[in-house]
């Protein structure tokens, strides 16, 4: 059985909310998961995903709009192909225009509503 670190579970739940045809940055996911300034932890979490897990890891890119290089040869090319298949475009320098394709969630996905006490 696959066990997940609680922080990774938060990360995965946010990543699952990124819609098809949109991308988010590692830093954005970290902040929305309640871990601001921990973008690398998002990368570590996505690296630990077991094969076949239904988390759209390919929609997470770096803050410059680029697909980050991986230790496994060809995996960054595979990520680009998956993004292009979802209609995400790249400019001539290999960047995704974040203004056009960046995910803009309406609310923090992990925020719980708080009722005012009266």
Distance, in Å, from the CA atom of 114 to the CA atom of 46, rounded to the nearest integer, reads 30
- 116, part of any domain: no
- Domain hosting 29: range is 6-101
Give yes or no for residue 108 having a pLDDT over 60.
no
Measure the CA–CA gap between 16 and 20, rounded to whole angstroms: 10
Q: Is residue 40 part of a domain?
A: yes
The stretch 56-82 carries a mean pLDDT of 88
Q: Average per-residue pLDDT in the chain?
A: 87
- Predicted structure pTM score: 0.85
- What pLDDT was estimated at residue 82? 96
CA distance 75 to 81: 10
pLDDT per position as a tens digit, 1-50: 356 777 899 999 999 999 999 999 999 999 999 999 999 999 999 999 88
Structural domain includes residue 12: yes
Asked whether residue 109 is domain-assigned, the answer is: no
72 or 33, which is more confident: 33
How many distinct structural domains can be found in the chain?
Answer: 1
* Per-residue pLDDT at 116: 38
Q: Is residue 27 part of a domain?
A: yes
Domain presence at residue 94: yes
Q: What is the CATH number of the domain that holds 38?
A: 1.10.10.10
* pLDDT greater than 80 at residue 110: no
42 contacts: CB under 8 Å, gap ≥ 6:
11, 15, 26, 27, 29, 30, 33, 35, 60
């Amino acid at each position: 059985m696959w066990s997940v670190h609680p922080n990774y579970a938060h990360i995965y739940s946010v990543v699952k909310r990124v819609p098809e045809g949109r991308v988010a940055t590692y830093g954005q996911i970290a902040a929305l998961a309640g871990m601001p300034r921990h973008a690398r932890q998002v990368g570590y979490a996505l690296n630990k995903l077991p094969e076949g897990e239904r988390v759209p890891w390919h929609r997470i890119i770096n803050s410059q709009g680029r697909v980050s290089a991986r230790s496994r040869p060809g995996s960054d090319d595979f990520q680009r192909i998956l993004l292009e298949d979802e209609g995400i475009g790249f400019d001539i320098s290999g960047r995704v225009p974040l203004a056009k394709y960046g995910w803009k969630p309406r609310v923090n996905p992990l925020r719980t509503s708080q009722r005012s006490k009266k």
